[in-house]
Structure 1
Amino acid sequence: MVQDNFRTFLVLILVHVFHKDNIHFLHFLDMIKDNYRPAALQTLFLLVFSIIRLICREMNNYVGHPALINTESIQASTSNIQQDSQQYGTAFQEVGASNAHAPQPNGPLHMDSTHLVVNQDVCLPQSSAVLPPDPVTEDTFHVWIVGSSMVRDAFYHATDKNLGLSQIGGVVEWKFKPGLREHQLFPLIQEMSTNKPLPYLIVIQCGGNGLGQAPLGHIQLQLKQSVESILSILPSTRIDWSSIIPRLYYRNEVNHDKLEKDRKRLNTDLSKFCMQSGGGYIRYLEITHNQEFFSDGVHLSHKGIEIIVTNIQNALFTFCQTDILCYPQ
């Protein structure tokens, strides 16, 4: 069985690594990485996975544009892979025969410092993520902020609709749809791509309205497919995930604690997915379940929306001028 799977894995590498659209192949690699057992075999695949992901990412970014290849970015990525290979090599040596069938953990998964903790709002380790596009060097670049009523409220709250980015050449486009659901995200951005200057970066605020209305797995799948579709039409754009904030209650909620856990899992999953695609993650750690942050239990108060605007603004300056992937770190 393992030999058959390994043979399939090698065939898919040969088929997809020379194909322009590598996004679905990267998703396949994620599936392979997460499901291979025993632990020793999984660590071997993780090493291969890191190397292939680098190849796919560079080809996806620069197919048809060989002059744009950034050798410093490739060298930095290679350095990260060398570090990962040392880590995986050490782990491989430590796996004994008695661990051939590693037990699955019960309850929330807490991993070591090189991995995500899936039930908390944490950032993907820098060494585990794909390098983002180079910091902006053009005289003018465009940023899109897309989302639901939270984006609308942030737009009306912001004194400077350009969030101060004019001083570094940035132009901000806001697009909001109150009640935005995950299946409406890609059509919204696809429409923008037909009549707006193409963006260097897109901030996405979506997913919260679906919690309690659809299964978590369905929401995750639709959002990942939306990100993949966006990258297929805007391959040089960076996608930054804006954290879904807490709510005092959800529409039609039965178990509030469960929906809050789903929200955290969704943030972890989608921020990781975006960061592994060269994007970033914006968090709002100051916003809690305290009533002072909300006007009605769902929408934010003046104090809450001020935090949103400030963090988005600071994150955009950080992402456009550095290779930092998560704000605040």
Structure 2
Amino acid sequence: MGKRNQRGRGSRNQRGRGSRGGRGGANREVQTGRVQAPTGERQTRAQARAINQLVQDNGQENVVEIQQGAGQQPEPIPLQERPAMVPVDAQQVPVQRPMPIPVVEQPRLMADQLLAERSMRTWILGDSIIRRAGNKNTQLHGGGECYWDGKPGGQISFIISRLRWLLGQYQFPTTIILHIGTNDIFKANLGQLRSSITEMLMTIRQLLPFTRIVWSDILFRLAYSLEKHRGAGVRSTKNLNQHAHKVCREMLEGNAHIVRYNDVLHPDLNNADDDGPIYDYDCTHPTPRGLLVMRQQIANALVVFNNDPHIFAYPPGSENSDI
């Protein structure tokens, strides 16, 4: 009886001391930064948590690779070779490393670099003529991805507010085409309208310093309903176009062009052949045939400007025309 009690107490004491000693050994391994992962099916969740706690407490400098099997010494991972996700035990428990947040800024590229991008973006902003001329499915050869935005009755003051909204929604354009001004004639004197055109173009250049700006000439009308003196509408249209040409050439620091329509959409050409009129019955908007001619003129201009950015006007040399 006494011997059995001794054996029972001895075995229990040995087991107790062994288990306490095992826990103490594990704590010492955690404190020294060297952990020997258990093998086989005996690895427990508590041991995995202890390993992860070691990594969190000691930082990257003391992270070690856990080697399986006895007698293998862990080797520190060099700092420059550490990945964003570091496996810390035999079951690949990841420890997420914080990654720096990149600061995204508008790319400041030269104009020729922007134009060389594989995917060019062209915005055509204007009045009801632009609304009729194109939509989201209307693409122009030489323009890349085209976005048409025309407002019926749109005036010069509409452009900047609309542009600011678009810049908050879409990628910046490589080319912006402006067809505006016909609804401003006779709404203010010419001096005010010239100032409005200058302010609009200069503001666009500030918002888009590396985007090509193209002024699309105000079209002449067959008749001006608000003019009080014969020929006043034609003179006003010509005056505003010439002023826009001057601003594009002298004040926009290059990368600005003009498109003219005198040779294809002049009122004198209406009903000039058997293909039908180019102006609608309202004497203001081009017919579908006239809109097709207008789109083709813009597309041809973009191809020319892409091939030679130094060409100022399309058709080339038309900037010297008094028409």
Q: Shift of residue 293 of structure 1?
A: 2.1
The match for 1:218 is 192
1:1-329 matches, within 5 Å, as 133=112, 136-155=115-134, 161-165=138-142, 170-276=144-250, 277=252, 278=254, 279-285=256-262, 286-290=264-268, 291=270, 292-295=277-280, 296-323=282-309, 324-329=311-316
Deviations 1:192-246 (A, max 9, x none): 1111110111100011111112111111111110111111111111211001111
Deviation readout 1:87-142 (Å, 9 max, x if unpaired): xxxxxxxxxxxxxxxxxxxxxxxxxxxxxxxxxxxxxxxxxxxxx75672111121
CA contact (8 A) 2:142 2:306 kept: no
| CA apart distance, 1:190 | 1.2
Q: Distance in 1 between matches of 2:167 and 2:249?
A: 22
Work out the percentage of aligned pairs sharing the same amino acid: 27
Over aligned residues, Cα RMSD in angstroms? 2.3
SS across alignment from 1:204 = strand
Q: For the structure 1 residues 186 and 139, does the alpha-carbon distance in structure 2 shift closer, same or farther, using more than 3 Å as the test?
A: same
Code of the aligned partner of 1:294: Y
Change (3 A) 1:269 1:134: farther
Change (3 A) 1:135 1:189: closer
Give the Cα–Cα distance (whole angstroms) in 2 for the partners of residues 283 and 239 of structure 1. 14
Contact (CA 8 Å) 1:136, 1:321: kept in 2 or not? Answer: no
Number of residue equivalences = 198
Which has the larger helix fraction? Answer: 1
Secondary structure of the 1:210 match is: coil
Q: How far off is 1:251 after superposition?
A: 3.8
Instruction: Assess, with a 3 A threshold, how the Cα gap between structure 1 residues 321 and 135 changes in structure 2: closer, same or farther.
Output: farther
- CA spacing shift, 1:134–1:246, aligned 2, 3 Å: farther
Equivalent pair of 1:216/1:262 in contact (CA under 8 Å): yes
Question: Matched residues in 2 for 1:171 and 1:204: separation?
Answer: 16
Q: Which amino acid aligns with 1:325?
A: F
Which blocks of at least 5 consecutive residues in structure 2 are unaligned? Answer: 1-106, 271-276, 317-323
Name which one, 1 or 2, has greater alpha-carbon Rg: 2
Give the distance between the partners of 2:209 and 2:230, measured in 1 at CA. Answer: 38
Alpha carbons 1:250, 1:256 under 8 Å: kept: no
Give the residue type in structure 1 aligned to 2:307.
Answer: Q
User: Secondary structure, in 3 states, of the residue corresponding to 1:306?
Assistant: helix
Name the TM-score, length of structure 1 as normaliser: 0.56
Decide whether the 8 Å contact of 2:215 with 2:244 is kept in 1.
yes
